[in-house]
Amino acid sequence: MNGALKPLRKYIQPKIGDNWETIAAREFPNDPQDKVIENLKSWNLFLAFRPTPMITPSDIMFIEAPAQQ
Amino acid sequence: MFDLIIRNGLICDGSGAPAFKGDVAVRDGKIAALGEVTGDAKQVIDAKGQVVAPGFIDPHTHFDAQLLWDGYAQPSLEHGITTIMSGNCSLSLAPLKAEHRDLLGATFRQIEEMPKAAFDAGFSWTWESFDDYIKAIKDGLGINVAPLVGHSLLRMWVMGAEESRNHAATPAEVKQMQNLLKQCLDAGSIGMSGSWVDIDHERHPVPARLAEHSELEALCETLGEHNAILQIVPEFWDADILRVRIDQLADLSRKYNISTTFSPLFDSNAWPNLVYLAMDRIRLQSAHGARVTPQMQIRPIDLSFDISQPNSTFATLPSWWATTILPVDEKRVKLKDPEFRKKLSADLEHFMQPIGLQIDFRDAYVKRMGKPDPKLMNRSMRDIAAERNCHFAEAIIDLALEHDFDISFGLDSIGHNNSPKIGQLMLDPLVGLGAGDGGAHVSNFATYGDTSLLFSEYVRKQHSLSLEYAVRKLTHDIAVVWNVKNRGLLRPGFAADIVIFDANTMDRGAEIPVDDLPASGWRYVRRNTGVSQVFVNGALAYDLDAGYSDKKAGAVTERVAA
């Protein structure tokens, strides 16, 4: 991929049936899971607080913090 | 001998080239000559002092149902629109098996805010296939239609209702979806629509959202084989997510050689540089060969709400949403309960609008009453609450109770309302116009008149766009992005879709309720000033004095060949 077109922020797209726990275990297997889930939610407020809690395979879930503004 | 000559007009041919005085001749539904036309015609119109332009194209509508009882998609035609794209946001009305009609109907009505009674009285479900839906609308069309097929519908057809809403597709099911999409494209679909955000009447993601990216890729492969477009609605309020979506669309565009478009490009007051961040990404991706066209809405955001039924204003206010769906008798009791009123008041006071709209319910005003009371109409909740010495939320509740829920409240220009900024963005050749939502949200706000507003606000008032460029943005640019064949320009051989209008008076009217939905339903519309005549495929479709014609000259548009 052309360097200029690299994603601006690392993300994944969930698998069907995923939830915060399964994503945390898959993406950050060596880190404390409670803390990972807390981080994931804070980096993905839209997913954490939307009216429908279901996580779908077409969602974008960031796996790193937003860039400093 | 021509069928029609329009003489002495100021011709804006849709290309953006300087306007010139001249004539347009029409024969057999097509533009036959342009410039200084000699010869006779069965009908001659003097357009002196008026603009003659290609009919406008509205790329984001939900007229799928309305076309079954109103083939003119009123009031679009009177705003100069001669072609509409239906089936946006993953939701068309075909292909659809009979056993899925209730589910799709409820989903469509919830997302697009349409009354069930209009569906029930307005048409009969006579089709299952996309081809048969086209047959159901074709003879009644007074406007041209470029119908999208919804990704959610493809999933429901192949996987069934529940599977499509809860599961990933198997490779065999994806293959079936590709074949079904091909059938729809062969039957006249302009492309496929999707959604990354919509939820249905049960607050469940629409089927398209359950697709893995590989499924979307497979369908885009089919789109590419047919030179068909992908439309999608992304998380438009969040710059980080939106830029990922732009990257995804760009990758799909390059990989499968397709045109992609998303709607809306929204100027968020909560994130003022969001539109610039998005456009920077689009510029970068375009420089690398991608075709990603954002659709910017022309009008600012207006909302309406009432307590009689669920509506999008309350989508992020669970206590109010839950109240709207209560049976009427129970609703009356609950709304008189002091504790419940206190909770509703607190929720309204601490309301957070995640997409950056500037909502202050104190500014809500009485917009519509079943029995209009001049002492209340147009007065704000701030004013009425002060007079009654109550909380502004209680003013809303009490007015609803006193008028048996037949009262609506308005909130005007609460977002996407920085005209100088939006006008500058419209100048960007990479920014498309659209996202108008015609035919949807019928009792929430008027989704009509954006084309007229472009001339009054952005050509005459803001001086953001020239007349010629404004016409181009509404015609040729959209036709190119959507691969619409032989429309969008005044050129010999192109379809004679023509609008004649006064550039000095072209405008949208005030938002008004009209009782023209089936089953005595009502909706908000805006009328036009400035358009004198509209022709569809050479036939007069709308005349300022005579109104809508009874000619049914509309067609399902053709795609440019792959």
CA distance A38 to chain B (A): 19
CA B338 to chain centre: 41
Report, in this order, helix, strand and coil percent for chain B, each rounded to 5.
35, 25, 40
- Under the banding of pLDDT at 50, 70 and 90, the label for residue A69 is low
pLDDT reported for residue B34: 97
B366-389, pLDDT tens digit by residue?
Answer: 999 989 999 999 999 999 999 999
Q: How far apart are CA B295 and CA B135, in angstroms?
A: 29
Co-location of B151 and B270 in the same domain: yes
- Which spans in B226-371 are helix H? 239-256, 274-287, 318-324, 328-336, 338-349
- Chain A interface disruption, residue of B111, B198, B244, most A CBs within 10 A: B244
User: Residues of B near A (CB-CB distance < 8 A)?
Assistant: 167-168, 196, 199, 203-205, 208-213, 216, 235, 238, 240-241, 243-245, 247, 250, 281, 284-285, 288, 315-316, 318, 354
Given a cut of 80, whether residue A51 has pLDDT beyond it is: no
Who has greater pLDDT, B498 or B561?
B498
CA distances from B530 to B299, B535, B543 (A): 18, 15, 11
Percent of residues, chain A, with pLDDT higher than 90: 72
pLDDT, averaged across chain A: 91
- Chain A interface disruption, residue of B209, B288, B320, most A CBs within 10 A: B209
Co-location of B288 and B367 in the same domain: no
Q: How far apart are CA B480 and CA B464, in angstroms?
A: 23
- Chain B interface disruption, residue of A18, A44, A56, A62, most B CBs within 10 A: A56
CA proximity to B10, closest of B63, B49, B58: B49
pLDDT reported for residue B216: 98
Given a cut of 90, whether residue B111 has pLDDT beyond it is: no
pLDDT reported for residue B435: 86
B407-449, pLDDT tens digit by residue?
Answer: 999 988 888 999 999 999 999 999 999 989 999 998 888 999 9
Given a cut of 70, whether residue B356 has pLDDT beyond it is: no
pLDDT reported for residue B57: 98
For chains A and B, CB pairs below 8 A equal: 65
Q: How far apart are CA B532 and CA B181, in angstroms?
A: 40
Given a cut of 70, whether residue B264 has pLDDT beyond it is: yes
DSSP letters for B195-242: ESS-B-TTS-B-GGGG--HHHHHHHHHHHHHTT-EEEEE--TT-HHHH
User: Residues of A near B (CB-CB distance < 8 A)?
Assistant: 2, 4-5, 7-9, 11, 13, 15-16, 46, 49, 51-52, 54, 56-60, 62, 66
B14 falls within a domain: no
Pick from A29-38, B154-163, B316-325, B347-356: least confident? B347-356
Domain count, chain B: 2
DSSP annotation of B455: I
Co-location of B198 and B327 in the same domain: no
Co-location of B251 and B378 in the same domain: no
Given a cut of 70, whether residue B352 has pLDDT beyond it is: no
DSSP letters for B478-495: HHHHTTBTT-SS--TTSB
Co-location of B250 and B355 in the same domain: no
pLDDT reported for residue B115: 86
Cross-chain residue pair A60–B244, CB shorter than 8 Å = yes
Given a cut of 80, whether residue B524 has pLDDT beyond it is: yes
CA distance A21 to chain B (A): 19
Co-location of B286 and B197 in the same domain: yes
Given a cut of 90, whether residue B276 has pLDDT beyond it is: yes
Which among B204, B241, B315 has the least Cβ separation from residue A46? B241
Co-location of B187 and B324 in the same domain: no
CATH number, domain with residue B126: 3.20.20.140
Co-location of B342 and B203 in the same domain: no
Q: What is the span of the domain harbouring residue B233?
A: 56-69+81-300+431-443+450-456
B536-556, pLDDT tens digit by residue?
Answer: 999 999 999 999 999 999 999
Q: Can you read off the two tokens belonging to residue B471?
A: 């016409």
**Section A17-35 average pLDDT:** 96
Cross-chain residue pair B250–A62, CB shorter than 8 Å = no
B113-133, pLDDT tens digit by residue?
Answer: 888 899 899 999 999 999 999
Co-location of B145 and B277 in the same domain: yes
pLDDT reported for residue B1: 94
Residue B406 DSSP SS3: coil
pLDDT, averaged across chain B: 95
Q: What is the pTM of this model?
A: 0.94
B461 falls within a domain: no
**Section B16-41 average pLDDT:** 97
Given a cut of 80, whether residue B167 has pLDDT beyond it is: yes
B10 falls within a domain: no
Given a cut of 80, whether residue B187 has pLDDT beyond it is: yes
Given a cut of 90, whether residue B318 has pLDDT beyond it is: no
Co-location of B189 and B291 in the same domain: yes
Name the residue ranges covered by the structural domains of chain A.
32-69
Co-location of B262 and B316 in the same domain: no
pLDDT reported for residue B208: 98
Predicted-complex ipTM score: 0.96
Pick from B202-206, B388-392, B399-403: least confident? B202-206
Co-location of B163 and B254 in the same domain: yes
Percent of residues, chain B, with pLDDT higher than 90: 86
